[in-house]
Structures are given as structure tokens and as C-alpha cells.
Structure 1
Amino acid sequence: MSQYVEQGYTAFADHYGSSEIIFGQFRRSRQNTQRIVGATKWCVFRPTNPTRVVVEAAVQERLDRMQTDCIDLLQFHWQDYNDKGYLTALRHLQDLQQEGRITTLGLCNFDAIRTDEICCQLGPGSIVSNQVQFSLIDTRPLHGMADVCQRHNVRLLTYGTLCGGFLADQWLGQPEPDAYSGRLTPSQRKYLDMIVKAWGDWTLFQSLLVVLRQIGDRHGGVSIANVATRWVLDYPCVGAVIIGARLGVSEHRGDNSRVFTFQLTQEDNAAIDAVLEQSNGRHLITAIGDCGAEYR
């Protein structure tokens, strides 16, 4: 993590397992005053009565684990839209924010309708972000969510932007993998299913990789992953791309930094669009549902 910070990666986002504890220990161990941002989540999957006591306890647990008095960004997820308790929970989170225990509030995997509802109910500036899946393969945020972001000045924190690593040079020219060969990670199995069953097929995906490689070559040899990331970052509704890294195993720190060394041209975007037009990308929002629907 120190190596990441030394290369300019100063924002970390995770809440699974012991990640909050590790982040808290890491930030406490820093001897300098460099600003390091930690984003975490509170996810409500089961029926819950979000009283002030319940909400405060959830926040305090994160404060304790992260060894801090104030959470930089708390991202909130609520599973059951039929239960409007998410509005009550968010109002309590607002109160805790005003008390200084949370700096900013965000959402995680909320759809456009509920994001708009929440921003209207809680008031201007109440929500700063929504963490959703967004990539060249999954463009659902462009169908409704982007408009909501513009209306309420919300930015997307996107994950799955590299489809678990499939949008990368190592898959160019490769045959379609067996999902259960042992070669793929659980994340890659999920994204492979989306690529070959919902978005298109492996042949069309290879055509996309070829185009991304050609674009990368035009910009000094940047990677396919760089081009795929730049494409997402160029949308005004996107605040940041969350690059999944397995610390000490798969990091790509140097390569990822090259995203900021070039800009996509009209020619580049036209070449990408020509491939995307052959896919079912625009229909994913009806086939799968809006952002986060795949988890509900």
C-alpha cells in the first residue's frame, strides 16, 4: 500500500473481510501528513429497522475498524427497494455526518430511479457518489443514471471497468476460456458470462480487443486496459475508476498510471462505437435491469 501511495494512488476503497482493519493500520502507520482517503461501505441485505441506534452502531463499527474519528466516504447499499427504510437510514447517516463522524455520503449499486429519489429527498449535495459497474461491455449507466448524476451533481465510482481483467492485452488473440477450467478467478467467471451470453460472443469481443490494441498503438503503445479505462473516465458522470488489485499478486501500478498520458480522439471513439454497435450492449438494461439489478 505504501508503494501505491508513493506512485500517487492515495484513495483506497474496500470493506470485505479485514480490509477496513488493514487500511486503518496502514494509515495510522504513516509518519507523514500526506492525505490518504479511505472509502468503505455499509450494506443492508436483510430486513432491518434502521433506528438511530442501529445506524450509529454500524458507523461506529467502521470507525473502530479503520481507527479513525471520521469516515472519509461511507457508501450505503440497501437490498430491498420495497422497504423504504433506506430513506430513514440515510437521514440518520446525514445526522451523523453533521456530527462530524462522516465526511461524505455515497451510494452503492442503487439504480437511477432510487438515486434520483434519494437525492431529491435528502437535498442538494447530500450524496456525492454511486458505486456501479461500468465498462465498454456494461454501459447501463449511460441509460438514465448519467442524467441523474448531472441533475444532482453526483459522480460514479465505477468497478468492473476491466471486466475482471478480460479487457487486457493478455486476452488478445486467445481462444474463449472454459469458465471452470481453474484458470479464471470468480470475478472473471462472472464477466465471461456477461461477455458471451449477454453482450455478444467471444469473436466480437476479440474484435473489440483488436480495436483497443490499435488505439493503444496510436497513443504510444499504451495498454488495452489503459484505453478501456480512459473510455470510462471520459464520461462526465464518472468521478473515478476503481481498479481491483490483489496486493502483492496483481497490481499493475505503473501501467495504470499511463491512463493519464493520453486522450481518446474522435477517430478512436468512432472505431470503438463501430464494434459496440454490433453488440447487445444497449439492451443490457432491459435484459439485466438497471445498475445493481444483478445483485437483487
Structure 2
Amino acid sequence: MNTPLIPTVTLNNGIEMPQLGYGVFQVPDAETTAAVTAALDAGYRSIDTAAIYGNEAGVGRALADSGIARDDLFVTSKVWIADHGYDAALRAYDESLERLGLDHLDLFLIHWPTPALGTYPETWRALEELYAEGRVRAIGVSNFEPEHLERIASEGGIVPVVNQVELHPALQNRAVAAANAERGIVTEAWSPLAQGAVLGDASVVEIADRHGKTPAQAVLRWHLQQARIVIPKSVTPARIAQNLDVFDFELTAEELATIDALERDGRTGPHPAQFNG
């Protein structure tokens, strides 16, 4: 099977990260191994999981069984709210590695800032130590607002390489994306397809038809042409492969603007207020 050549994005520490990866949010552990195996077979090499997903072990089984060299994989996981704090975050990293069966991660993120706890700067300090010791190749954040990025910067910390946030045509998180760009942080989109909520929009369907592609492929192309990293999720092998088949066409400036115009508060995941206090 011919696998597509996935472009990479150079992170601010010089590490190359595949621009399109495979996410396993809400995939039960028992189904994760088969899903990740399908993704790897399709050509994905970047896999995104998290401790709170409860499926790191399933990811690890797929990676171990794949026969793919570790250097050819890019594995991301995240520290959950319950493990905020310096010592707890260090322990959480070790526990994630054990579940994944790996000796290092390529990228480790703070999953939510949860400013009401006041612990994310301390948690970030733990990630900085892991990075300084060479135990993780890159560190970043998820669901951080501009003020949370500012606090890390004001305390003289390492600049995160990515900020992974909900971003899709219906919720474009422009202020966060601008704050990321200002600091040299790559925006990574979770729920890039809005869990299907925008795929029936007439303008998206028309653009997709024009290129002989699916609406999902058109939306993923919209992300990629704006230099975002994306981690679409599916457990259906055909759709997993289809989401990777997005490198043989290009949207016009007019088509990009048409999708840009779909913005509304179309949040499909948790609202930050649930975790920010």
C-alpha cells in the first residue's frame, strides 16, 4: 500500500512534527489497539492520546505490534488536572510511559490550565525539567487562553511548542491562535471536524464536490493550508484512511475565506469554564 508523505511542522525547539496525526479521544481502550493499528497501516505516524482518555495502554499495544521504528513515530500524551503540581506531574509522566510501553514521549502537554487551582505554572516547571533532562522531546499546552500563556512567559519559562485547542470552522479561536503565533507557538486543532457538525454545510459540500473530495477532506485541507496541526479521529478504517488523503488538492483563497465565514460559537467539546473555575 502506498502511504502519503505527510508534511511536517518545525516546532520552536527545532523538532519536526507531522502536520496531520491521529487522535484517540473517546475511543475505549478495548477498541484503541485496532483503531491505532488501522491508522498506522494507513500511513499516520503521529498519535495523540492522554492519561484521562484511559486508552494509553491500547495505543501502546498498537505501537508495539506495528514493527515501526520508534524514531519514525511521534507520540503525544497529556497530564490531567488531578496530576497538576510539580511532583504529581513527574509521576504522571512516568505512569503514562509505563502504560504506553515507551521510554520517552515526543510531546507532553498540560491538558487544561485550570487556573482556579493555581497549579499550572508549577506543573509547567515539571515539564520543563523533563525536557531539560532529555526525557521528552518537546513540551506544550492544551486549552490555554492568552492570559495563561502570558503567565508562563512572565515567569521566564520555556515557550510551549504547541497549544492544542478546539478549532474548526464553527469555532476558530482567533484570539488564541493570534496569541500562539505571537509567541512562536504552533496551533494544534482538536475536534478539527467539529464532530461532523459543519460537514453538511452547503458551502463546504460545494467546495468538496468541486475538488472531488469529501466535506471532511475539504475542512482538513482548510486547516492544513493555514499551517495548523490537526488530529482528526475516527474508528472506521475507511474514514481513517480518507482523512489522510488530503495532500493532492488545494483550496483557493476564495474557498478558504468561505470556510472562514462559517464561524459561530460551535463548541463541540468541554467549555473552558468547566475547568477554569
Give the TM-score of the pair, scaled to structure 2. 0.75
Q: Is the 8 A contact 2:108 2:127 kept in 1?
A: no
Q: Is 2:40 aligned against 1:5?
A: yes
1:210-289 alignment, distance < 5 Å: 210-219=202-211, 221-236=212-227, 238=228, 240-246=229-235, 249=236, 252-273=239-260, 276=262, 281=264, 284=265
Which residue of 81, 84, 88 corresponds with 2:115? 81
Which residue of 147, 153, 166 corresponds with 2:197? 166
Runs of 5+ consecutive residues of structure 2 not aligned to the other structure: 1-35
For the aligned residue pairs, the C-alpha RMSD in angstroms reads 2.7
Q: Distance in 2 between matches of 1:81 and 1:44?
A: 10
Q: Is 2:97 aligned against 1:97?
A: no
Q: Distance in 1 between matches of 2:185 and 2:113?
A: 21
Partner of 2:3: none
Partner of 1:136: 169
- The aligned amino acid for 1:55 is A
Q: Distance in 2 between matches of 1:40 and 1:120?
A: 26
Q: Distance in 2 between matches of 1:27 and 1:133?
A: 26
1:136 Cα deviation after fit:
0.7
Q: Is the 8 A contact 1:10 1:37 kept in 2?
A: yes
Q: Distance in 2 between matches of 1:78 and 1:167?
A: 25
* Bigger fraction of residues in helix: 1
Q: 1:43 to 1:273 in 2, by over 3 A?
A: closer
Q: Is the 8 A contact 2:39 2:237 kept in 1?
A: no
1:73 Cα deviation after fit:
1.0
Residues 173-229 of structure 1, C-alpha deviation per residue, up to 9 Å, x if partnerless?
Answer: xxxxxxxxxxxxxxxxxxxxxxxxxxxxxxxxxxxx21112212222x111111122
Give percent identity, aligned residues only: 24
Partner of 1:66: 100
SS at 1:258 equivalent: coil
- The aligned amino acid for 1:241 is V
Moved over 6 A (4+): none
Partner of 1:292: 272
- The aligned amino acid for 1:87 is P
1:132 Cα deviation after fit:
0.6
Q: 1:270 to 1:102 in 2, by over 3 A?
A: closer
Q: 1:228 to 1:64 in 2, by over 3 A?
A: same
Q: Is 2:155 aligned against 1:121?
A: yes
1:145-156 alignment, distance < 5 Å: 145-156=176-187
1:270 Cα deviation after fit:
4.1
SS at 1:57 equivalent: helix
Q: Is the 8 A contact 1:216 1:227 kept in 2?
A: yes
Give the TM-score of the pair, scaled to structure 1. 0.71
User: How many aligned positions are there?
Assistant: 237
Q: Distance in 1 between matches of 2:141 and 2:77?
A: 11
Q: Is the 8 A contact 1:216 1:222 kept in 2?
A: yes
The structure whose RCO (Cα within 8 Å, separation 6+) is larger is 2
Higher Cα radius of gyration: 1
Q: Is the 8 A contact 2:114 2:275 kept in 1?
A: no
SS at 1:21 equivalent: helix
Q: Distance in 1 between matches of 2:45 and 2:123?
A: 29
SS at 2:144 equivalent: coil
